[in-house]
Structure formats: structure tokens, C-alpha cells
Amino acid sequence: MRGMRLLGVWCAALMTVGAVAPLAGAETAQEADLAYHGAATLDSGRVEVRITPRNHGPSAVPDATVRLRWSQPLENRQTLPDGCARSGVRVVLCRVGALPADTLGADLRLGVRLRGVPTEVLMEIDTVWSGGAVDHNRHNDRQRVLVLDTGDAYYF
């Protein structure tokens, strides 16, 4: 009985220490702050997008994926750049790649054709995967841009 009591005390002490500090070798999520800026144009049903990703840090992001979603459905056939794939009727996912802390990533450029010739499209951009890094500032990696069919660049 004494052995069971001693084991119970030891387990309680271990749980208390574990609650205060992680066990040796346990990994914690790195924190990063991803942001996306760029421009989009709409001309006769074709949307051209340029996005520059940035990691404000403090930690590196081993790999990231950005989602682009449009309020209008895309044409069935699309020619997308390497690293991009359709994920639905209105969605394209693109690999951003690794982003060291406090750096800009490579520009992502893509063009998509919308069904029909809408006079405007709402484009939404957000991170769907950040390689395990935690982003507490989700305001700058989520963008909503209303793009009018003027051929003009709309910056975000």
C-alpha cells in the first residue's frame, strides 16, 4: 500500500512539473507572422493576380500554402503555374514555400478565367497551411479585394 501511495505522489509531482515546463525534447510550435500583399486586375472575365508573401517572424516558416477564392466560379479548364492546383469551383491553392523570418518570398503570379464576363469579383486570400508555425496576427494574411472589370490594378 505504501508503494502505491509513493507512486501516486511521484506521478502527481511529475504532472505538476510537466504543467509548468515542457518535458526535455518536447517541441513547441514556432510563431510566425505571414502577410500577403500584391495586386489584381479583372479584364473581360480574366483575373491576373500578383502576390508577394512576407514572414514578419520571429520564426521561419518551413513551408506555406495560400488559398485564393473568388466570388464567381472559375472556368473548368485553367492553366495554373507550378505549385498551384484547383481545390474547388472557385478555389485555387498555391504553395508559397519556405519563408525565413523577416523576409519576402518569391512573387506568386497567376491568371484565371472566370465563367462568363462578370463586372466585378470578390477575391479572398488566406493561409491554409504554415508548416506548423502559429500566426497570432491573422489580420494581414487574410485579404478581401473587390476587383472591378476596368483593367485597373487593385492593390492589397
CB atoms within 10 A of CB 117: 12
DSSP labels for 65-117?
EEEEEESSPBPS-----TTEEE-SSSEEEEE---B-TTEE---EEEEEEBSS-
- Provide the 10 A C-beta neighbour count for residue 106: 12
Higher pLDDT, 140 or 153: 153
Whole-model pTM: value is 0.80
Given this model, what pLDDT does residue 29 score? 75
pLDDT of residue 139: 87
Question: Is a pLDDT exceeding 90 seen at residue 22?
Answer: no
